[in-house]
Amino acid sequence: MTDTTLKQHRGFIYSGVARGFVTVVLIGIMLLMLGTAYIWFSGGDGRASVPVAAPVLTLQPDDTRTLFQILPEESEVRFRINETLLGEPKTVVGATQHVAGDLLVDFDNPVNSQLGRIRVNVRTFTTDNEFRNRALRGQILQADRAEFEFAEFAPTSLSGLPPSITTSETVSFEVTGNLSLHGVTRQLKLNLEVTPVSSNRLEGTATATVQYQDFDMTIPEAAGVANVSDEVQLEIDFTALAVTAPPDKKNG
């Protein structure tokens, strides 16, 4: 084989390798674009299908307790999860005001108090990034599906309540219950701090920690994202206002 023929042969090889490399790169780009498009469109627009509502607690005619209802516009539900983004530690925070629930409070005998079911529209969670929002709705929570749009906490017991509750005095206690999320129900303990700002207004915070895998959720791989924590911190800041009459009598 002459030098000229050898050079031509090598040229063909290099050319073939280059074409193969370019083809692989183009296929990779196309797959990435298709995956990105799928995540974007599968996440929907994040709008609630219906206003959030929780089962209503009722007062009896001789009930001495006060019924409070959570005010969504002055309340917020959040989650926090840690990850590494582009080599830097980051805490992702998602938030929504689509929350509902009732409380029956006995100021003189707090052990008779009751926390109703707390319902949250997880489809409406937003973070600081729209692509993440769509991945959250479409791939992680799958809240674009009707059966996964809402999460609900159903209390079963309250513990640690004081002998009495005084206006402007913060009360700390625990609530045990069941959290239903993404089609899975797990027992959960909430730590609550509640302050009766007045006889007609409560302000409080509830916190808990869960592992997202316990609710059959997976987090898809994303470019630049690593070391996503298994634990998710849940938080609720809420304001609840007293209802002046039992719900079935309020409007007549």
Q: Tell me the CB-side half-sphere exposure of residue 193, using CA atoms within 13 A.
A: 8
pLDDT score, position 58: 87
- Angstrom distance (rounded) from CA 74 to CA 100: 11
pLDDT score, position 251: 38
* 215 closest CA partner among 237, 188, 236: 188
Could you identify the residue written with the tokens 């689509």?
98
pLDDT score, position 53: 95
pLDDT score, position 244: 60
Instruction: Tell me which DSSP letter residue 252 carries.
Output: -
pLDDT score, position 230: 94
- Angstrom distance (rounded) from CA 189 to CA 79: 16
The domain segmentation of the chain, as residue ranges, is 1-42, 48-249
pTM over 0.85: no
For the beta carbon of residue 55, count every other beta carbon within 10 angstroms.
Answer: 13
Q: State phi, psi for 209 to the nearest 5 degrees.
A: -125, 135
pLDDT score, position 32: 40
Greatest Cα pair distance, the chain, in angstroms, is 108
- For 48-249, the fitting CATH number among 3.30.565.10, 2.60.40.2130, 3.20.20.80, 2.40.128.110 is 2.40.128.110
Asked if 231 contacts 210 with a C-beta cutoff of 8 angstroms, the reply is yes
Asked if 117 contacts 101 with a C-beta cutoff of 8 angstroms, the reply is yes
- Angstrom distance (rounded) from CA 116 to CA 105: 11
pLDDT score, position 2: 58
**Which residue stretches of the chain are H helix?**
3-42, 130-135
pLDDT score, position 33: 42
Asked if 116 contacts 101 with a C-beta cutoff of 8 angstroms, the reply is yes
pLDDT score, position 226: 86
- Angstrom distance (rounded) from CA 36 to CA 242: 47
Which segments of the chain have a pLDDT < 50? Answer: 6, 13, 17, 21-22, 24-41, 245-252
Q: State phi, psi for 217 to the nearest 5 degrees.
A: -110, 145
